Chain A
Amino acid sequence: MSMTIAEKILAKASGKDKVEAGEIVMADIDIAMVHDLTGPLTLQALEQINTDKVWDPEKIVIPFDHQVPADTLDAAKNHQMLREFVKEQGITNFYDVYEGVCHQVVPEKGHALPGTVIVGSDSHTCTNGALGAFATGIGSTDMAMVFATGQLWFKVPETNRFNITGKLQENVTSKDVILNIIGQVGQDGSTYKSCEYAGETIQEMEMSDRMVLSNMAIEMGGKTGIVEPDKVTDEYLKNRTNKSYTKFTTDLDAPSLNTIDIDVSDLEPQVACPNYVDNVKPASEVEDVEIDQVFIGSCTNGRLKDLEQAARVLKGNKIKDGVRTLVIPASRTIYQQALKEGLMDIFVEAGALVCNPCCGPCLGGHIGLIGDGEVSLSTSNRNFKGRQGSPEGKVYLSSPIVAAESALTGHITAPEKK
């Protein structure tokens, strides 16, 4: 029977020849990830399960990224609790406060492989789908079950396959593509579905661009956001893993497949306006919006290419007075690469504040919160009311290029058409 990539992965993980959308399966988990904010609740739940040992200490990945270094006593206590757990259980893949954002660290360190099932107690775990994995966010009690048993139940999802064609114009990025898609289908447009990104535009994209698409599948309710693995995937994994993996692809006649064709040839830079990720407009239509803070970073757009794009705009220019601009590389490795390329000099000279790898202002829990009436332009993935601090503040989302252009002018600014 014809199946989608999600169905093929879940069939393999549950020891079946075939599965159908709607079916409940018990799947074996390949990688389970918690971070410093969701780990503590997972441990609380795990304590209530009648077992002393996790199912496999080599399949658990624990990066600290949300509140690093610890900014409160509560955060410090949580970090201590998790470090103790890591030691006691012999968890091999532990990344302390210096390594970076979980959805960058997991693929960067070679933990995300095509054809595997990856769960994380963080909704943006779907980022790993860029490598052809079935990767999804779960809560802490579900994660306790995974820690204890190595398994979790899933309802096999139907698939929305976004078939993307056309060459992107200069200064238009995968962030603009995904914002445009979410604007079209709505923030519950793929609820309970597997999102797939396919077509010539995607085949041409490098891994960091694909990760932007997969990352934001959850912003339309998607359970996962998969790109079929190909030579770009092999290239990315070449020096990251020596494990073998299976590259599944979707059968185009699979019954649960719904294909949506999108031509991006004429796409302009996009902005998601408050307070909904699907409130998407061309950047050129919201240029009158004045901004107080710019955030370039996050698990969506904190990778080297994103920093390079922002630096090209900022090089030799000065950020507008009064616009606090935070640049946060998504990992230590990216930080080092950016240093070597001289990007950090460009940011600092332009007047930006470069922070250590972490989630930053994205979730309004650590650094860079916005106050009443303030406006943030952010390359992250959510602009919900109160997301970056005060419920009376406003968050707009864009690509790193639009964010950097806007930092220079003090209002949302679309890059000039070339």
Chain B
Amino acid sequence: MEKIIEGRALKLGDDIDTDSILPGRYLTLSKPEDLGKHVMEGYDLHYKDKIQEGDVIVAGSNFGCGSSREHAPIALKAAGIKAVVAKSFARIFYRNATNIGLPLVEAPNGPDDIEEEDILKIDLEKGTLTNTTQDKDYDFTKLPEFMFEIVENGGLIEYLNKTRF
């Protein structure tokens, strides 16, 4: 996983659920590239046209609530989203995204300030989020140590293969 991410902010509100991110009618798909084509269709059928490779989603609270479908973080990642910054995340989404290597940044004070298309820089190792456009820094809650270990090992699968099998 890249430790430093630089990208353009795409803003969303509170309570973005996994049905919005990847609607139920696409859950029979499992290849990342197929899922990526339908990202955010539950929210807006044409949202994906806005996404450019390397963008960072910036949302409010409870991002990823609802269904446990791992198809949702896979679709975001496949569509070119490099990270999600939110005030808070729903529990299952948080684990799923971490397990598949989509970095999440829980920054309670960031999202209100950040404007659409601001350029953000995230340093996952240092734990810093910078709004380059507005020249502002925000704190973020680092991953719990155990989860950070999973990320450092390249995701849950790699972690298991190194430690258990």
Contacts and interface: CB of A to CB of B under 8 A. Distances in A.
Interface of A: 24, 37-38, 40-41, 44-45, 48-51, 66-67, 72, 74-75, 78, 121-123, 125, 137-142, 144-145, 148-149, 153, 155, 187-188, 191-192, 218, 221, 223, 276, 363-366, 369, 382, 384-387, 389, 391
A341 B160 CA distance: 51
Contacts of B29: 74
Interface in B59-113: 61-62, 65-71, 74, 88, 90-92, 95-96, 99-100
B62 A187 contact: yes
B28 A382 contact: no
Contact of B17 (A37, A74, A139, A384): A384
B73 to A, nearest CB: 8
A148 B161 CA distance: 11
A218 B18 CA distance: 13
A405 B140 CA distance: 49
B90 A387 contact: no
A102 B69 CA distance: 15
9 contacts: A41-B30, A51-B165, A155-B144, A188-B65, A218-B66, A365-B26, A384-B42, A384-B66, A391-B43
A191 B66 CA distance: 11
B157 A37 contact: no
Given A123-B92, A365-B25, A137 B41 contact: no
Given A51-B165, A386-B41, A145 B156 contact: yes
Nearest to B67: A123
B131 interface: no
Contacts of B19: 363-364, 382, 384-387
A40 B71 CA distance: 11
Interface of B: 15, 17, 19-20, 23-30, 41-45, 61-62, 65-71, 74, 88, 90-92, 95-96, 99-100, 144, 146, 155-157, 160-161, 164-165
Contacts of B28: 37, 67, 72, 74-75, 78, 365
Contacts of A391: 20, 41-45
Contact of A145 (B25, B61, B160): B160
Given A149-B164, A387-B19, A139 B66 contact: no
A235 B35 CA distance: 45
Contacts of B20: 384-386, 391
Given A155-B144, A364-B23, A364-B24, A49 B92 contact: no
Contact of A139 (B24, B68, B155, B160): B68
B99 A139 contact: yes
Nearest to A36: B28
B160 A49 contact: yes
